[in-house]
């Protein structure tokens, strides 16, 4: 997911996407603790996606 893709979305779409990513991050953390996560880099990507979404939301608010 790129920031340029997020700039085109509305605020409601961004908030919905943010909610989905946070739920995904929670499930990945649970899988990590139970040793079911095969690719730990997924955590990193999801955290970065959340940061990109938060940046897009704050840019729209300004």
C-alpha–C-alpha distance, residues 23 and 21, integer Å: 5
pLDDT tens figures, 7-61? 899 999 999 999 999 999 999 999 999 999 999 999 999 999 999 999 999 999 9
What's the pLDDT band for 62 if we cut at 50, 70, 90?
confident
61 neighbors 14 (Cβ within 8 angstroms)? no
The pLDDT, as a whole number, for residue 1 is: 81
Tokens of 9: 């979305």
Task: Record the pTM.
Answer: 0.91
């Amino acid at each position: 997911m790129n920031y340029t893709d997020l700039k085109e979305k509305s605020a409601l779409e961004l908030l919905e996407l943010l909610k989905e990513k946070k739920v995904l991050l929670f499930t990945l953390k649970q899988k990590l603790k139970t040793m079911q996560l095969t690719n730990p880099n997924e955590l990193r990507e999801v955290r970065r996606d959340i940061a990109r979404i938060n940046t897009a939301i704050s840019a729209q608010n300004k």
